[in-house]
């Protein structure tokens, strides 16, 4: 278990249980956090760790064993030598580091290794190629959804797992990062706790109180008209199929449900598609040819304002809206999606080059966001900075034909003064 850290609505786990039942074998889940995942810090590990007790409890209800180990005792191959499995099932993650680990594991294991895409509703490999935009992937997803957007039943393992007394497992209730050498400069967020139970509670609250107004309020950061489920989807504490079914069953207007499901399925799975089929997802090289030509034509444009990376990290710019959005990310581990677009586009405007802007946005997003190091984050940055999944717009300095956002136009679309005041109050509360 890596990305899909949950006991329910987990296609990888369900396949393992079904195979175990067919073979007359018990099933055990192996989870092993490591301290060297790129750009991960204490904030991310604390959120991940707070969800582990829910995993253990949920697996127990399905007669599935759970073995938690931590670095340096994190080797999957060594664990398999101890338990001698008939086969190994893994959950997929399109990011290069995790994909590399799976390839290496397949080479080392002496039994078959299957992987199952538990991060999306429509398995991303079925799309076959990188899609250009939402309008190209939407018809394909809609064609496949009747096959996959269906109720599932959590089957229990028929043969309960009985843990050998000699088999070591780290206690799920303890801090698995103790003694690790990792980045502790980014503090955990006390208001965010991981786990399937918290994800389910947040989903229910959104469906009962926010979904009906989603089309009108989703682009209003001062109202926080979104679900705030992205950290839980990132760590796999809740599955997109669960979210979709709950939204479909809600009493909200049909238009509100359609709008939300389009974001959950089409936009989110477009991001996963981008990362799976484009190896340059976290760098400037992922840009489309039209954007490449446009930037080349404007490579000599003078930038009136250039901020250093440190000034950006400290929110020391002249722009009160950008500063407020950045502080929300730094202090709470979350930034409203509408402002994430503005945030990244201003980094492009204030950086010495397009390549530097992309690198800065990725680094800051991955460092502070609880849902950083995620396909959605990389796709969002690529959209904002190099026009990925977008189209050419009117030419302007620095941006070329990449869509532009200004303080005046962006701030006029919602109560930006109220939002800036909220973030100022939040910052003072952290002083």
Question: Is 176 within the bounds of a domain?
Answer: no
- Residue 427 CB contacts under 8 Å (≥ 6 apart), including other chains: 327, 331
Question: Is 404 within the bounds of a domain?
Answer: yes
Question: Is 66 within the bounds of a domain?
Answer: yes
Does residue 206 surpass a pLDDT of 70? yes
Residues 404 and 73: their CA atoms lie apart, in Å, by: 49
Count of the separate structural domains present in the chain: 3
So what's the pLDDT on residue 110? 94
Classified as helix, coil or strand, 153 is coil
Q: Are residues 378 and 299 in the same domain?
A: yes
Instruction: Give the domain CATH number at 83.
Output: 3.40.50.620
Classified as helix, coil or strand, 396 is strand
38 or 17, which is more confident? 17
In sign, the C-alpha dihedral spanning 301, 305, 308, 312 is: negative
Q: Is the CB of residue 402 less than 8 Å from the CB of residue 304?
A: no
Q: Are residues 249 and 298 in the same domain?
A: no
Question: Is 402 within the bounds of a domain?
Answer: yes
Last residue of a domain, one of 216, 249, 277: 277
Q: Are residues 405 and 310 in the same domain?
A: yes
So what's the pLDDT on residue 3? 94
Q: Are residues 317 and 265 in the same domain?
A: no
Q: Which of 403, 412, 370, 391 is nearest to 220 (CA)?
A: 412
Mean pLDDT confidence for 402-424: 95
Residues 208 and 96: their CA atoms lie apart, in Å, by: 38
Last residue of a domain, one of 118, 148, 177: 118
So what's the pLDDT on residue 191? 83
Predicted TM-score (pTM) of the model is 0.96
Q: Are residues 248 and 328 in the same domain?
A: no
So what's the pLDDT on residue 429? 84
Tell me the β-bridge partners of 88.
Answer: 113
Tell me the β-bridge partners of 114.
Answer: 89
Looking at every residue in the chain, the average pLDDT score rounds to 96
So what's the pLDDT on residue 155? 96
Instruction: Give the domain CATH number at 311.
Output: 1.10.579.10
Last residue of a domain, one of 233, 252, 277: 277
pLDDT in tens, 293-337: 999 999 999 999 999 999 999 999 999 999 999 999 999 999 999
pLDDT band at 165, cuts 50/70/90? confident
Does residue 146 surpass a pLDDT of 90? yes
Question: Is 304 within the bounds of a domain?
Answer: yes
Question: Is 161 within the bounds of a domain?
Answer: no
Q: Are residues 312 and 399 in the same domain?
A: yes
Does residue 291 surpass a pLDDT of 90? yes
Question: Is 5 within the bounds of a domain?
Answer: no
Q: Are residues 248 and 303 in the same domain?
A: no
Query: Buried b vs exposed e over 235-268: b needs ≥16 C-beta within 10 Å?
Result: bbbbbbbbbbbbbeebebeeebbebbbeebbbbb
Q: Which of 184, 222, 226 is nearest to 207 (CA)?
A: 226
Does residue 431 surpass a pLDDT of 70? no
Residues 169 and 69: their CA atoms lie apart, in Å, by: 6
Mean pLDDT confidence for 194-199: 98
- Residue 130 CB contacts under 8 Å (≥ 6 apart), including other chains: 273, 274, 276, 277, 278
Q: Find the domain containing 30 and state its range.
A: 11-118
pLDDT in tens, 344-381: 999 999 999 999 999 999 999 999 999 999 999 999 99
Q: Are residues 310 and 235 in the same domain?
A: no
Question: Is 162 within the bounds of a domain?
Answer: no
What tokens does 277 get?
């089929």
CA atoms within 13 A on the CB side of 6: 26
Q: Are residues 265 and 306 in the same domain?
A: no
Q: Are residues 321 and 401 in the same domain?
A: yes
Q: Are residues 297 and 407 in the same domain?
A: yes
Residues 116 and 124: their CA atoms lie apart, in Å, by: 10
| Percentage of the residues of the chain whose pLDDT score is greater than 70 | 100
Instruction: Give the domain CATH number at 224.
Output: 1.25.40.80
Residues 196 and 199: their CA atoms lie apart, in Å, by: 5
Mean pLDDT confidence for 2-21: 97
Q: Is the CB of residue 215 less than 8 Å from the CB of residue 256?
A: yes
What tokens does 266 get?
């089409």
Q: Are residues 424 and 292 in the same domain?
A: yes
So what's the pLDDT on residue 160? 95
Classified as helix, coil or strand, 346 is helix
Q: Is the CB of residue 126 less than 8 Å from the CB of residue 277?
A: no
């Amino acid at each position: 278990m890596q990305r899909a850290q949950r006991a329910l609505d987990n296609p990888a786990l369900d396949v393992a249980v079904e195979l175990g039942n067919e073979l007359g074998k018990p099933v055990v889940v192996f989870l092993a956090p490591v301290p060297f995942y790129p750009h991960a810090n204490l904030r991310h590990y604390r959120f991940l760790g707070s969800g582990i007790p829910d995993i253990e409890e949920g697996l127990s209800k399905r007669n599935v064993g759970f073995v938690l180990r931590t670095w340096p005792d994190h080797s999957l191959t060594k664990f398999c030598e101890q338990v001698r499995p008939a086969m190994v099932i893994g959950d997929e993650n399109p990011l290069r580091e995790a994909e590399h680990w799976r390839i290496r594991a397949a080479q080392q294991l002496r039994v078959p290794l299957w992987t199952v895409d538990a991060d999306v509703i429509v398995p991303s490999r079925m799309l076959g190629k990188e899609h250009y935009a939402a309008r190209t992937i939407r018809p394909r997803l809609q064609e496949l959804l009747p096959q996959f957007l269906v109720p599932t039943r959590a089957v229990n393992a028929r043969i309960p797992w009985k843990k050998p007394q000699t088999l070591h497992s780290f206690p799920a209730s303890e801090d698995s990062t103790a003694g690790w050498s990792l980045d502790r400069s980014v503090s955990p967020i006390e208001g965010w706790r991981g786990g399937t139970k918290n994800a389910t509670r947040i989903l229910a609250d959104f469906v009962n109180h926010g979904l009906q107004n989603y089309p009108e309020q989703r682009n209003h950061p001062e109202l926080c008209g979104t679900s705030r489920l992205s950290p839980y989807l990132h760590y796999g504490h809740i599955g997109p199929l669960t979210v979709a079914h709950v939204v479909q069953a809600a009493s909200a207007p049909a238009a509100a449900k359609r709008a939300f499901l389009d974001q959950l399925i089409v936009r989110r799975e477009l991001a996963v598609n981008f990362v799976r089929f484009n190896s340059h997802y976290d760098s400037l090289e992922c840009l489309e040819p039209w954007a490449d030509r446009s930037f080349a034509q404007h490579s000599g444009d003078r930038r009136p304002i250039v901020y250093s990376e440190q000034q950006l990290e400290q929110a020391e710019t002249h722009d009160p809206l950008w500063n407020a959005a950045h502080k929300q990310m730094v202090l709470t581990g979350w930034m409203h999606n509408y402002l994430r677009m503005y945030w990244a586009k201003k980094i492009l405007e204030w950086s010495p080059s397009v390549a530097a802007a992309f690198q800065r946005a990725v680094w800051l997003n991955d460092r502070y966001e609880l849902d950083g190091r995620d396909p959605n984050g990389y796709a969002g940055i690529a959209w904002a900075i190099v026009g990925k999944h977008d189209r050419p717009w009117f030419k302007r300095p620095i941006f070329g034909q990449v869509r532009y956002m200004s303080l005046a136009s962006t701030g006029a679309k919602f109560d930006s003064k109220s939002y800036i005041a909220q973030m100022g109050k939040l910052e003072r509360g952290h002083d």
